[in-house]
Amino acid sequence: MGFLPVPSDDELSSDAIAAANRFQDAHPGRLTDLDRALLNNPTVFAAYTPWFDVKEELEELVGERAVTLFSLALARAVPAPYPTAFFEGILRAGGDDPVNPQVTEAESLLLEWGRSVGADPSRVPSELITRVEATFSQASRAVLAGYAGLMFGVCIFSLVAQLVPPASAAS
């Protein structure tokens, strides 16, 4: 077990169950171990779950695959094993090679920017910033920057909580 347990349904408080139900009404699907770890406190869960809304908005701007690649680059650079395994699994499930994906020019730029932001957000090279500015509108950059910050927060939470990627993620 990590620093923060991943509670089962039986271990959740009534407030946590209500928070999970509200979340799943808006975002159907299985709760991940990270989601469950956040449910140890409904306020913390509520603070982190807007990540999904920003992710969906970013997907509308640049595409789901580009967001997955960007997320993976940032998670690897942090490095955060749980989110890394999560996004590698998404790529693998889509038939991609998460180690050596074939990418478009915009995806390549997001990979490079994600690696740089994840490694040290205060030291992103100005040349790279200029390329991102030339490729994405100001409105898109606002969503990209917001998502990067939220993704960085998710990575840090997963590290502090000591979340371990599932064994199936390694395949």
Q: Which of 103, 48, 51 is nearest to 73 (CA)?
A: 103
- Among left, alpha and beta (phi > 0; psi -120 to 50; other), residue 110 is alpha
Strand locations in the chain (E): none
pLDDT at 170: 44
Contact 143/58 with Cβ under 8 angstroms? yes
Block means of pLDDT (10 residues each) for the chain, 171 residues, are 86 95 92 94 96 96 97 97 96 95 96 96 97 96 97 96 76 42
Closest CA to 39 of 151, 166, 161: 161
H or E, element range at 58: helix 50-62
Q: What is the pLDDT of residue 147?
A: 98
79 neighbors 88 (Cβ within 8 angstroms): no
Q: How far is CA 158 from CA 30, 110, 115, 161, in A?
A: 18, 22, 18, 5
From 77, 76, 78, 55, select the one nearest 67 (Cα to Cα). Answer: 55
At residue 54, φ and ψ (nearest 5 deg) are -65, -40
Closest CA to 71 of 56, 92, 86: 86
Q: How many Cα atoms occupy the beta-carbon half-sphere of 121 within 13 Å? A: 13
For residue 127, what are its two tokens?
């040349």
Question: What six digits make up the tokens of 161?
Answer: 């909580």
pTM value is: 0.92
